[in-house]
Amino acid sequence: MEYLLKASAIVTIFYFIYKVLLQRDTFFEFNRAFLLLGLIGSFIIPFLVIPIYIEYTPTPVTNYNFSNVTVVENTDFFDILDYLPIIYLAGVLFFSCRFIIQFVSLFTLILKNKSEKQGDFRHVKINTNVSPFSFFNWIVYNPNQFNKTELDQIITHEKVHVQQYHSVDILLTQLSCIVLWFSPFIWMYNKDVKQNLEFIADQKAQLKFNCKKSYQTTLLKTSMLSHQMALSNNFYNSLIKKRIIMLHKSKSKKINLVKYAFVIPLLALFFMSFNTEDIYVEKPYLNSENEAVIAQEISTKTDTEIFLIYNNFTDAKFKTFETELKSKGYDFNLKSIKRKTNNFITTIDFTITKNDTDGNYRIASGDAIHTIVIEYSKTKNKFSINTLNFIENEKRNTNNRNVVETIIDKNTAVASIENIKRLLKDKPLYILDGKEIKEDEFKALNPDNIETVNVLKGKKATEKYGDKGKNGVIEITTKKEQNEKFQISNIGGNRPPLYVLDGEEIKKEDIEKLDPNTFKSFNVLKGKKATKKYGDKGKNGVIEITIKQE
196-208, pLDDT tens digit by residue?
A: 999 999 888 888 8
For 44, counting Cβ atoms within 10 Å of its Cβ (0-12 exposed, 13-18 middle, 19+ buried), the class is exposed
**pLDDT at residue 281 in the model:** 57
pLDDT exceeds 60 at position 285:
no
Over residues 107-141, the pLDDT tens digits come to 898 989 988 999 899 999 998 888 888 999 999 99
What is residue 413's predicted lDDT score, i.e. its pLDDT?
Answer: 35
pLDDT at 194 exceeding the cut of 70 = yes
415 by Cβ neighbours in 10 Å (0-12 / 13-18 / 19+) ranks as middle
- Is 493's pLDDT higher than 80? no
User: 28 falls in which pLDDT band (50, 70, 90)?
Assistant: very high
Per the prediction, the chain carries an average pLDDT of: 77
pLDDT tens, position by position, 316-341: 889 889 998 999 999 999 999 988 76
Helix (H) or strand (E) holding 42: helix 28-44
Distance in angstroms (rounded) separating the CA atoms of residues 54 and 353? 35
DSSP element (H, E) containing 55: strand 50-56
Percentage of residues in the chain with pLDDT exceeding 70? 73
Strand, coil or helix: what is 97? helix
pLDDT tens-digit series, residues 412-464: 333 344 445 545 656 788 888 888 888 777 766 766 667 777 777 778 788 88
Q: What is the pLDDT of residue 130?
A: 80
**Average pLDDT estimate for 256-261:** 88
pLDDT at 252: 86
Q: Are strands 498-501 and 504-506 parallel, antiparallel or unpaired?
A: antiparallel
- Give the C-alpha separation, 215 to 217, whole Å: 5
Between 70 and 208, the higher pLDDT residue: 208
**pLDDT for 400 beyond 50:** no
Least confident of 51-60, 173-182, 468-477: 51-60
Higher pLDDT, 259 or 79: 259
Q: What is the DSSP letter of 238?
A: S
Task: Give me the mean pLDDT over the 351-379 stretch.
Answer: 86
Q: Which of 2-6, 368-372, 412-416, 523-527 is predicted with the least confidence, judged by mean pLDDT?
A: 412-416
Label each residue of 98-141 as H, E or C.
HHHHHHHHHHHHHHCCCEEEECCEEEEECCCCCCCEEECCEEEE
Please state the rounded mean pLDDT for residues 65-85.
53
Residue 499: predicted pLDDT: 86
Q: Is a pLDDT exceeding 80 seen at residue 515?
A: no
In this predicted structure, the answer to whether residue 539 has a pLDDT above a threshold of 60 is yes
pLDDT band at 73 (very low <50, low <70, confident <90, very high): very low
What's the pLDDT at 207?
Answer: 82
